[in-house]
Structures are given as structure tokens and as C-alpha cells.
Amino acid sequence: MREALSSTELKRHFIASATRAHFGLTVSPTEQCNFRCTYCYEEFVLERMSAAVYDALRLLVERTMPTVRTFSLAWFGGEPLLEWQRVGEFTDYCRALALTYGVHMPPATVPTNAWNLTSERLAYLAASGVGDFMISLDGEAAVHNQTRRLLSGRGSFERIYRNLLEARDALIDDPFRIILRLHLHQENQDSQRRLAEQLFIDFGHDPRFVVHPITLGDFGGPTVHTLKLLSGAQSAPVEAAIRSLFGPGRTVDLEQDEHTVCYAAKPNHILVRPNGRLAKCTSALGRDDNDVGRLEADGTLTIDADKALAWSFGFQTGHPDHLACPYHDKPAVQPLRFMRSIASA
């Protein structure tokens, strides 16, 4: 349970989330994936982004960059690195424009299953400005392979781990960080503890590798019920043990740090899907209330403001869970009134 925010904190988060001086862009280059993890909620509907949508995206960034002070780019999928060259090219393009206009742009982030993350591709992406790679592990090989499977049903642990070791050993000049998301459910806690010990032996001396223990959630996938999920309180002892093994500088807690306000709740953040449709939440791609507009060919955004701002209802309720993840409790579309009332409070 997250602690309630004071009205000062709420207002500070609202200003940061609504200011026009920042623009947050998440891009999904494809919704396809070479994996079929047993808890995945994705529907794998859309194919790769077309050249026309990339052209429009570039125009969007050209329009936006002169008007902001900070710009963030996150990739999403499917498996984004099925399109690793596009990911590198577009990130590099944004970075060059940010430099031109003196805009602060932190390294881009990408979640990846790491199947295709060879050390050469990692080096290319790091040189292009992709800095954070989020890679999920579900336990030691036999346990991981039960849930993180290829489309064929084959397990994936061995190749992912080999790629991680190669990433550690390769001579890569540009900075990067690999965030190892250690998913927890009722039946893999012991295995994750042992895996964490192995990871500490293999990567503990390399500050580019950090761990992020986290409970698996239910975002509606068709087979997530085959797993016994944990509540946050139930997983706390294992999370604490893994955090204490790696120490404070080598663990991240995205929920507590950057995600006090989820990107879906931020009015100044948008997701562009491969077909140019706009969304707020990456976990609700099939929901009509998450289909909030479209990217036009000239790089402008046509947004249904009521629909989009309904994802920011946590600023009205002030409930920290509604800000951290509006997915579960979000009510139907709400009017804009509350945004104005907070802004003027």
C-alpha cells in the first residue's frame, strides 16, 4: 500500500505531469513478439510500424522539440527489439534534435526479452542513445522456462543468460544499464533467491547491472490464472533479501521512484502504437477508453481530451494507487473540470 500524498506533493506531481515544458513519448515499433510468456496480457494485434508512421513521428518530434525543455523517449512492444534498427535510428534522431534545441533528453528505455540482444546490437543501441534495457527473468533455468517461453513453447533462459554474460564482457564504450526484473510469484520465490545469488556472483561487480525484484501482476492475460500470484506484502521478504544482497546502489524500485505517477496518468505523455493510434496505458491496448486519438501525417496529434485526461483521475482522488497505476480502478470518461480545479488550487 502506498502512502498518501500531501496536497503539496500532489500539486507538485500534477505540475510536473501536466507542464508543456516536458513531453514524454512512448513508441511501440511492433506489437508482435517471439515469446509467449504465460502471464502476458498482450494481444499481438498490430504488425510493425510503417514508414509513413515513422515519418509522422519524426515530424511530431520536430514540432515538439523547440517547445520543450525536457523530452523522454521510451520504447514498448510486443518485443521492441524485433525492430532494433528502427529503435536505434529513431532514438538517434531524437537525440540529435534534442542537442540542436538544448533540450534535456535522458537515455531512452526499452523493455526487451533479450533473445535478440547480442553484444553487437547492445553496442549499436547504446551508441544510438538507448540507455536502459529492462530484461525479465522468472527464476533459474527450469523455473524460468516454464513461464518465459518462445512462440514454439521452447524455454529461453540459456540464450538470455548467454547474452547477459556477453554484454558484461564485451567492450562497449557507450554507457548502458541493464535492469534485471526478477518476477515473483508464489512458486518461484526460492528459485529467484538462488538466481539472485548467481547473478550477484556473475554481475555483482559490474555497476551497469542492477536488479529489480517485483511481483507479477494480473493485467488480464488469458493464461495468467495458471500462476499463483503474490500480494506485495507476501513478496516483501524475498524482495528485501534480494535488495539486501545487491545493496541500495544496485537495486531499483521503479514503482517507488519514477512511477509515483504512471506515465498513463500524465497529461504530457502519450503512447504511439504501430498504426499511429494514440493510447495512454501500455497494459490496456484492447480497451476503447485507451484509444485516445491519432498521430496525423503532418506530425500533429488529434486527441480526444476527455478520454485522455480520464486516465489522470488520480489527481482528482489524490489516491496514490490511482496515480501509480490508473489501469485497475479507472472510472469511465470524466470531464476536464477537475484538471482546472487542481491547477488553480
Closest distance of CB 313 from ligand SF4, Å: 27
Q: Is 78 in the site for ligand SF4 (CB under 6 A)?
A: yes
Exactly one of 24, 29, 77, 213 binds ligand SF4 (CB under 6 A); that residue is 77
Candidate segments 71-79, 162-170, 212-220, 276-284, binder of ligand SF4 by CB under 6 A:
71-79
Q: Is 40 in the site for ligand SF4 (CB under 6 A)?
A: yes
Closest distance of CB 126 from ligand SF4, Å: 21
Cα 257–chain centre separation: 13
Candidate segments 61-69, 77-85, 232-240, 300-308, binder of ligand SF4 by CB under 6 A:
77-85
Amino acid identity, position 341: S
Q: Do residues 186 and 165 touch, judged by C-beta distance below 8 A? A: no
Binding mask 268-287 for ligand SF4 (x = CB under 6 A): --------------------
Q: Is 32 in the site for ligand SF4 (CB under 6 A)?
A: no
Which 93-122 positions form the footprint of ligand SF4 (CB under 6 A)? 113
What secondary structure letter does DSSP report for 134?
E
Closest distance of CB 94 from ligand SF4, Å: 23
Q: Is 81 in the site for ligand SF4 (CB under 6 A)?
A: no
What secondary structure letter does DSSP report for 81?
G
Helices (H), the chain: 7-18, 51-64, 84-101, 119-128, 141-147, 157-169, 189-203, 232-246, 305-309, 314-317, 320-324, 337-343
Candidate segments 33-41, 64-72, 189-197, 334-342, binder of ligand SF4 by CB under 6 A:
33-41
Buried b / exposed e over 226-263, threshold 16 CB at 10 Å, is ebebbeeeebeebbeebbebbeeebbbeebeeeebbbb
Here the cell at position 122 is 547492445
Give the Cα separation of 125 and 103 in Å (integer): 20
Residue ranges binding ligand SF4 (CB under 6 A): 33, 35-37, 40, 42, 77-79, 113
